[in-house]
Amino acid sequence: MIWIISGTYEAKKLLENVHGKVNYIATVATDEGEREFFKYNIVKVRLNYEDMKKFVFKNNIDLIVDMSHPFAKEVSLNSKKVAEEFKIEYIRYLRNETELDGCVVFKDFNECADYLKDKEGNVVFTIGSNNIEVFERVKNGRRFIYRILPSEDSIKKCISLGIPISDLVAIKGVFSEDFNEAFFKEFDAKYVVMKDSGNEGGTLQKIRACKKIGIVPLVILRPKEDGIYSIDEILQYVLKW
């Protein structure tokens, strides 16, 4: 049995091409993912390391295909570790690197928050709802606008942190350069914080929009990993399994 760790655009593309051709089980972690991937053999579940071991054993998994988000660090680390422990195959899909010329880059969210401590002006965050508490600690009366997924969990988290509704925009991307430009202008952003989620995640469109209107793009680098950059290569590997 093949386990496809899903939840991304590329995972959906892979599932479209393997559904009905191989024995697989795919997992997503959110209600949104469950709705989006409903036509496939999907299980909505959040798994820590011990849960993953039970999942692999219960479902007789012999190949793990990790198509998770570039910033789903724990998912990738744990699934790779489980594969090593069970002596089964593990392959990781990686998005191509983004051209980051003209951006200020950071190794993690805390480093970016430190940079923003003494900056002035509105800041737009396009990092989702995870890790926003890191930035709320350095807000100091400035306006921070968060563009998040329109999910109940995301909105509840922001409200629990005391973020005003007027500073939340719940909308699902990926967005064009023109949309981003208009969005950043609307909120008079001086800085835009984003993750390097690759072109598939809309990073390039955000960077171009920032540069076009003179906003400083602040980019949090993705974790370093080894893997395969071609969906077609992964598809062929899975179909031959």
32 vs 27 pLDDT, higher one? 27
Angle formed by the axes of helices 9-18 and 231-239, nearest 10°: 30
According to DSSP, the β-strands at 42-44 and 189-195 are: unpaired
Query: Would you state the pLDDT for residue 7?
Result: 85
* pLDDT classification of 13: cutoffs 50, 70, 90: very high
pTM, two decimals, is 0.87
pLDDT one-digit tens code per residue, 90-136: 999 999 889 999 999 999 999 999 999 999 999 999 999 999 999 99
Cβ pair 37, 28 in contact under 8 A:
yes
176 vs 41 pLDDT, higher one? 176
Query: Would you state the pLDDT for residue 36?
Result: 86
Burial of 202 (0-12, 13-18, 19+ CB in 10 A): buried
Average pLDDT score, the chain: 95
Alpha helices (H) along 170-230: 177-186, 203-212
Looking at the DSSP bridge assignments, the partners of residue 27 are 5, 43
* Cα Rg, the chain, nearest whole Å: 19
* pLDDT classification of 223: cutoffs 50, 70, 90: confident
* pLDDT classification of 209: cutoffs 50, 70, 90: very high
Cβ pair 128, 154 in contact under 8 A:
yes
> For a pLDDT cut of 70, what percent of the chain falls above it?
100
Query: Would you state the pLDDT for residue 97?
Result: 84
Rounded CA separation 225/223 (Å): 6
* pLDDT classification of 174: cutoffs 50, 70, 90: very high
Cβ pair 66, 44 in contact under 8 A:
no
Domains and CATH numbers, the chain: 2-94+225-239 (3.40.50.720), 104-220 (3.40.50.620)
Rounded CA separation 113/134 (Å): 7
Q: What is the end-to-end Cα distance of the chain in Å, rounded?
A: 9
pLDDT one-digit tens code per residue, 68-82: 999 999 999 999 999
